[in-house]
Amino acid sequence: MHCAFQDDENVYLVLDLCPGGDLFWLSHGQDSGRLPEYAAKFYAAESVLALADLHARGVIHRDVKPENLMLDVDGHVRIGDFGVAARLRAEAAFEQPSVRGLSGTINFMPPEVFVKARKHDHRADMYALGVTIH
């Protein structure tokens, strides 16, 4: 995101143009309904790096899926739709930072997210990416 601003009625987010669509659209445009292996490896690697950067900043996306992995003008992955993203927090100094709550798209959620009281962390994003890659 480059910037955000608002007026009396709307909030505006200025993002990069992603004319390549998203991975869902791209994969369903193939005769087989899936990406060629070389393309899947490339997009998977870029997605891992993008999520690692996000996690290093203390943010968990919580809705990783093909529709939220978009392709920029050069064909590189951009993560979109941060509507349910959260900042990871540790309740005590010795705890791993985590979040609580049910969020995301059911088909891509790890089991621990289904239990509302159960904490989860950045590994939930990696699980969802694994489902996406599969």
Residue 7 inside a domain? The answer is no
Query: Which residue do the tokens 């927090």 mark?
Result: 89
Positions marked active-site: 63
Q: How many domains does the chain have?
A: 1
The CATH code of the domain that includes 41 is 1.10.510.10
Residue 3 inside a domain? The answer is no
| pLDDT of the residue at 45 | 97
Query: Which residue do the tokens 């992603």 mark?
Result: 18
Q: Does the structure show a pLDDT above 70 at 92? A: no
| pLDDT of the residue at 96 | 65
Backbone region of residue 118 per phi and psi (left: phi > 0; alpha: psi in -120 to 50; beta: other values): beta
- Could you read off the pLDDT of 98-126 as tens digits, one per residue? 777 777 888 998 888 877 667 788 899 99
Domain residues for the domain of 87 are 17-133
Over residues 56-75, mean pLDDT: 94
Q: Tokens standing for 61?
A: 């996306």
Query: Measuring CA to CA, which residue among 42, 128, 127 is closest to residue 77?
Result: 42
